Chains A and B, each alone.
Chain A
Amino acid sequence: MVVIGIAIVVFLVAMTVLSPVIAPHNPTALSVGPADSAPSLAFPMGTNRLGEDIFSRMIAGGSTMMEVAGLSVLICFLIGVPLGLVAGYSRRMVDSPLSLLMDSLYAFPGLVLAIAIAAVLGRGVVNLSIAIAVVYIPTYFRVVRSQVLTIKELPFVEAVKVEGGGTLNVLFRQIFPNVLPSIAVIASINVADSVITEAGLTYLGLGVNVAAPDWGFDIYYGYQSLLAGAWWTVLFPGLMVVLLAGGFTFIGEGLSEVLNPRLRR
């Protein structure tokens, strides 16, 4: 499963990176073909309401999503994991307020938080990534923290502490590597979620600039054409999102299966 997932993701990333070279038309060039025309030899995926070539838009349309998803996972990792490690390992004084803050954030309807932050920060890949990251940091925090709570009681950790290993040493050299597998699983699932959230934000009008092609944007605007019978305007961007999110989910699912030997018989 992991292999399939990685293959899909690598393929999509490569496609996006190479898009300036392989896309037959400029994805934002208007009226290269008749509006809302069905898939044909000239336009393998048809055209949308503005006469743009959908095939080219599909090849190039993932870049925003990938950048945002990747960046937001990075932010989550850099903030959520250390905080979780610290909270799990420390005494109540440090743990309580941190957990309280994370619980509050967790109770915040995720999409609303993302919308609000996106509205505050404005458009742009970085801002959107921050908005999505803030929503998922509590999840990383919680998972890491609960793992640390369990691991720190284990004998080998006690042994290191007895031998005089400092806190940082214990945290990063003993506990962190054991927490890593869970993080990997969470991260993959989260990238999938980020992709979907980014699509959702674009759907609500809060995405990045219209100048760059974007699958989420195309789904929203394609719906009008869909009602008129032009199914290709919605189906293809939707499938691309499913592919990308699916790829990451496969990785996550596969990893969780591999890392949990109790499930294998």
Chain B
Amino acid sequence: MQTTIDPADAYDYFGINMIDNLGAPLIDFAPGTTNTGPSGLVPALATKWSESADGLTYTFILRSGVKYDDGTPFNSTDVAFSVNRGMAIYDPNGAFNGLGVSSIIGSVTTPNATAVTFHLKAPFSAFLSMMTFGIMYPVNPNKVSKFSCTVAAPCNDETGIVNFTSSSAAASNPNGLGPYTLTSWTRSGTKDVQMVLTANPNYWDYPAYPKTHTIIIKFYPDATSLAAAIKSGDVDIAYRQFATTDIESMMTNPSLKVYPSPGAFIQYLVINENNAPYNDINVRQGIAAAINRTDLINTVFAGTATPLYSQIPVGMAYHTDAFKTAYGAGPNYTLARQLLAKSGYTASNKLTISLTYETTGHYPQSPDQAQVMAKDLEASGVITVNLQGVDWPTMHTDVRAGSLGVFEYGWYPDFIDPYDYTTPFLSSTGASWLNDGYNSSAMDSLLSQSLSATTSTASSIYGQIQTLQAQNVPIVPLYQGGSNCCGAVTKTTVGGVYLDVTLIFRLYTIYETT
């Protein structure tokens, strides 16, 4: 895990989640929300916001009288400062670079102490969602050190980043507008041991939140030790990553409560068209038809995940079940055999594919998933599957080298917008990290239209994108959510746990009953 909860640099799930609890955004989604469109946004540090007609300017009106946890007054210059800082420091593997913020935001101006305006370089329909993402949370300018870069001349200035320091929790935390403040952070080697959060009386929504004054976070290296901890009563809440059998048994345990996650984590099969026979459209469509999502979910995840028929998950705006429309709920062996027969694959001349999966626990139960998928694909009678397990770093590198055939990957959203599930996967430039050889000018055109789409045109454009994906099949979506990756388990004496599609684990809504 990275050693920073600095919004300018943090890009791992946990770092961002800490920022979510130690800092505050301008706008947010309500806890437990099922509406992830612009109408689902609620005020946080900003009370009102507006968008210009051309989509190039966004203005936010901020609350007045808000202070950081150390008493520093908060105003619009802090927002501008934080965003500019993120764009100036340019850590190559930070989120600002990964999301391409500098190519979205042109400049930030502050008309007065409670107003801040963003001027975009081009219309970006996902901008408001991006503002809810942890990296955009304002930092405390008194807590960050000088840095030499500017937005015009960004540089990789490591000293400008606030990193973990063992001597002081306060010095490790440049946030300070959130419901909690960090009072203790202990690490050992490269692992976090413990973090302690205590209520921040300067939080704009204090005393309604946080509900619990002190939270102690303990870290466990894997799903099984986490499950052991919650089962033996060592902890009150356990979050993120469990094994299916643990979930099942905890669901029947009277002293525990299980919260499944509608979360936006998805897994999918990528088909690398750079290599034969995957450049054959019949092969790809045949695989899409033969996939058995139900068996996968029932056998490996005890039915706690949701089958996914589109790259855009259920619960996100503009989702359609494109793959179901094209191939049926599956498995559709008749259709699969027809498609593969077109390229000469029959029971006596089977299609051989290689399926690569990771073995070091990066995704939930990958070896199990691979086994089940192989069995179901082979049940079509015309496919042979060669399973290849490699550890995560090897897979990560092999993917980018383009040497694999079919491989299973996953995705945690950066922010909640269908943009984050389409362009990074289907654009000939944006999807270069997958190196799967997919290059469709029709898709690229649709994707650039989606960037400037308005609420009236978005539905149609995204609908076409998903239909086209189901036709071209560069990627076969498998499932989403599930308690394994993103669920929570608590003692029955704990309440206020909201798990929603944003995957933000809000510690400040949690309380203890009795």
Please say whether the chains A and B touch (CB closer than 8 A). yes
**Which residues of A approach B to under 8 Å, CB–CB?**
28, 30-31, 35-36, 49-51, 119, 123, 205-206, 209-211, 221, 223-225, 227-230
B387 touches A211 (CB 8 A): yes
Known contacts A30-B299, A210-B389, A224-B223; A49/B371 CB under 8 A: no
**Cβ A210 vs Cβ B391 within 8 A:** no
Q: Which residue of A lies closest to B231 (CB)?
A: A227
The answer to whether B367 and A210 touch across the interface, beta carbons within 8 angstroms, is yes
C-alpha spacing A31/B292, complex, angstroms: 15
Q: Tell me whether A227 and B375 are in contact (CB under 8 A).
A: no
Residues of B within 8 A of A221 (CB): 367-368
Tell me if B39 is interfacial: C-beta within 8 Å of chain A: no
Q: B299 contacts which chain A residues (CB < 8 A)?
A: 30-31, 35, 50-51
Which residues on the B side are within 8 Å of A205 (C-beta)? 359-361, 391
- Give the secondary structure class of A's interface: loop
Q: List, sorted by A's number, 6 A–B pairs whose CB atoms are closer than 8 Å.
A: A28-B371, A30-B371, A119-B394, A209-B387, A209-B389, A210-B367
Contact flags (1/0) for B378-394 with A, using CB distance below 8 Å? 00000000011111001
Whether a CB of chain A sits under 8 angstroms from the CB of B227 is yes
Interface string of B354-374 (1 = CB under 8 A from A): 000001110000011011100
In the complex, are the beta carbons of B361 and A49 less than 8 A apart? no
Say if the beta carbon of B228 comes within 8 Å of chain A: yes
The answer, among B243, B248, B300, B371, for a CB contact under 8 Å with A210, is B371
Residues of B that sit less than 8 Å from A by CB: 223-224, 227-228, 231, 243-246, 248-249, 299-300, 302, 359-361, 367-368, 370-372, 375, 387-391, 394
Q: Which of B223, B248, B372 contacts A50 (CB 8 A)?
A: B372
| B388 contact set on A, CB distance < 8 A | 209
Q: Quick one: which of B231, B243, B375, B387 contacts A30, CB cutoff 8 A?
A: B375
**Residues of A contacting B246 with CB < 8 Å?**
224, 227-228
Nearest-neighbor residue (CB-CB) of B361 within chain A: A205
CB distance from A45 to the nearest CB of B (A): 17
Which one of A35, A36, A210, A224 lies within 8 Å of B387 (CB-CB)?
A210
Quick one: given A36-B245, A49-B368, A51-B299, are A206 and B227 in contact (CB under 8 Å)? no
Q: Give the CA-CA distance A119 to B361 in the complex, in Å.
A: 16
Q: How far is the CA of A50 from the CA of B367 in the complex (A)?
A: 11
State A58–B286 Cα separation when bound (angstroms): 36
Q: A50-B299, A227-B227 are in contact. List 15 more A-B contacts (CB 8 A).
A: A28-B371, A30-B371, A30-B372, A50-B368, A50-B371, A123-B390, A205-B359, A205-B360, A211-B387, A221-B368, A223-B224, A224-B223, A227-B224, A227-B231, A230-B245
Inter-chain CA distance A209–B387, complex, in Å, is 8
Could you say which of A31, A49, A119, A211 contacts B245, with CB atoms under 8 Å apart?
Answer: A49
**Using Cβ atoms and an 8 Å threshold, which residues of chain A touch B387?**
209-211
Q: Nearest-CB distance from B441 to chain A (Å)?
A: 39
Residues of B within 8 A of A209 (CB): 387-389
Residues of chain A lying within 8 A (CB to CB) of residue B243: 224
Interchain CB contact (< 8 A) of A227 among B245, B361, B372, B389: B245
Q: Which residues of B contact A211 (CB under 8 A)?
A: 371, 387
For the complex formed, measure the closest distance between the CB of A25 and the CB atoms of chain B, giving whole angstroms. Answer: 14
Query: What residue in chain B is nearest A29 (Cβ atoms)?
Result: B375
A227 to B249, Cβ gap below 8 A?
yes
Most chain B CB atoms below 10 A, which of A36, A50, A123, A230: A50
**A119 contacts B249, CB within 8 Å?**
no
Is A119 a contact partner of B372 (Cβ separation < 8 A)?
no
Shortest CB–CB separation between residue B37 and chain A, in angstroms?
38
A51 to B248, CA, bound (A): 15
Which B residues touch A30, using CB under 8 A?
A: 299, 371-372, 375
**Cβ-neighbour of A123 out of B245, B302, B370, B389 (below 8 A):** B389
Interface centre among B228, B359, B388, B390 (most CB of A within 10 A): B359
Residue of B at shortest CB range from A123? B389
Residue of A nearest to B389 (CB): A210
> In whole angstroms, what is the CA distance A210 to B371 when docked?
8
Report B-chain residues with C-beta under 8 Å of the C-beta of A123: 389-390
B257 to chain A, nearest CB (A): 16
Within the complex, what minimum Cβ distance (angstroms) separates B477 from chain A?
23
> For residue B227, which residues in chain A have a CB less than 8 angstroms away from its CB?
224, 227
Please state if A49 and B244 are interface contacts (CB–CB under 8 Å): yes
Q: Is there contact, CB below 8 Å, between B224 and A224?
A: yes
Distance from B394 Cβ to chain A, minimum over Cβ atoms (Å): 8
- Which of B361, B368, B394 has the most C-beta atoms of chain A within 10 angstroms of its own C-beta? B368
By the criterion CB–CB under 8 Å, are B371 and A206 in contact? no
Q: Which residues from B are CB-within-8-Å of A224? A: 223-224, 227, 243-246
Q: A84 to nearest B CB, angstroms? A: 34
B248 to chain A, nearest CB (A): 6
